[in-house]
Amino acid sequence: MNTSKSNIKTFLTGLLVGAAAGAIAGILFAPDKGSETRRKFAEKAKKFKDDLPDQIEALKTAIDQKLNDIKSTSKEV
């Protein structure tokens, strides 16, 4: 079970880092003026920060449901 939780934590960390890196790269490579790029970056960062708790909670719920399904299936076998 610890390995499963460790794998989930590693996956979530990678997912969050990848999403942040993708957002940053998309903004930085956009052909806008510097001030416009900074404004967009600030907006995206705020939205990401505001949405993060809900996204994490939804992902935790989905993972818990999957783990419970796996436990139920393994008990039946």
Give pLDDT tens digits for 32-54: 787 887 888 889 889 888 988 88
Q: Return the structure tokens found at 72.
A: 């139920």
Q: For residue 2, is pLDDT > 70? A: no
Rounded to an integer, the average pLDDT of 72-76 is 79
Q: Is the pTM of this model over 0.75?
A: no
Residues 6+ apart with CB under 8 A from 69: none
Which pLDDT score is estimated for 36? 84
DSSP string, 32-62: S-HHHHHHHHHHHHHHHHHHHHHHHHHHHHH
Q: Give Cα 65 to chain centroid, integer Å.
A: 18
Q: Return the structure tokens found at 43.
A: 């907006």
